[in-house]
Amino acid sequence: MARILRGYMTTDAVDCVGDIVRPEGATLNAMPLPLLAGHDHKLPIGKVVKVERSGNGLMATAHVIPQGESRIADDWWAALRHGAAVGLSIGFRPTKATPNSHGGKTFDGSKLHEVSLVPVPANSECVARIVEDTDSQPATPPANVKPQPSAVNTAKPATKTNDPVIERAKRDLIAQGLGFSNHADRVRKLATVGIKFQNPIN
């Protein structure tokens, strides 16, 4: 089941703490980048499979762990679907930074190690949107199968003979098929739970 999200992981906008992470100065540590839940390295929920320059930022495409394989991924995907956690945020190591006029720093060089899904991103332009969500699609209905006619039992019903030896042998075979040693054993054991038979124990 595919779960795919897409969104800016960073742009050249000033974030809420006054920092700017220049997209043109960012390099990737390795691909695919891990997609984490809230920057917690113990909570991987997917992987970033594609990063491309788009407009004023870096656009990420990520695949989230399929439904049912990770409870954490299921919870965060549900939060994304319901708008409770739609932000994207990067984990990076600065390689070149200078103070800026916004009270923060401008990172002209950085090495990106991970991307996280978060409830509130530092950069308000970094918002994830779902591009594929098969969780919400109904299951494919089964193909119409033409009902087959019920098999007709052509076996003739057993006829009762007047030979008591043959009749007792028949009853013993039936009893053995039900897990009893013989017909008499069957009658005795069933009688202990209040089930009686008209046929006498021979």
Is 104 a domain residue? yes
Q: From 57, 23, 53, select the one nearest 126 (Cα to Cα).
A: 57
Per-residue pLDDT of the chain (202 residues; tens, 9 = 90+): 699 999 999 999 999 999 999 999 999 999 999 999 999 999 999 999 999 999 999 999 999 999 999 999 999 999 999 999 999 999 999 999 999 999 999 999 999 999 999 999 999 999 999 999 987 665 455 556 555 665 555 555 555 566 665 666 666 655 565 555 665 665 566 555 454 444 444 4
Is 144 a domain residue? no
Residues 46 and 78 in one domain: yes
Number of alpha carbons in the 13 Å side-chain half-sphere of residue 55: 13
Is 141 a domain residue? no
Residues 167 and 83 in one domain: no
Nearest 5°: the CA angle 110, 114, 117 is: 120
Residues 88 and 53 in one domain: yes
Contact between residue 55 and residue 88 where contact means Cβ atoms under 8 Å apart: no
Residues 202 and 120 in one domain: no
φ/ψ of residue 51, rounded to 5: -135, 130
Is 143 a domain residue? no
pLDDT at 90: 97
pLDDT at 134: 83
Q: What share of the chain is helix, strand, coil (3-state, %, to 5)?
A: 20, 40, 45
Residues 117 and 194 in one domain: no
Distance in angstroms (rounded) separating the CA atoms of residues 91 and 201: 84
Strands, E assignment, 13-86: 20-21, 26-28, 33-37, 40-54, 57-64
Residues 86 and 186 in one domain: no
pLDDT at 1: 61
Distance in angstroms (rounded) separating the CA atoms of residues 65 and 61: 13
Distance in angstroms (rounded) separating the CA atoms of residues 141 and 129: 28
pTM exceeds 0.75: no
Is 64 a domain residue? yes
Domain count along the chain? 2
Is 110 a domain residue? yes
User: How far is the CA of 5 from the CAs of 47, 93, 152, 202, in angstroms?
Assistant: 10, 24, 56, 78
pLDDT at 115: 98
CATH number at residue 68: 3.20.16.10
Residues 127 and 164 in one domain: no
Residue 19 is part of which domain span? Answer: 3-135
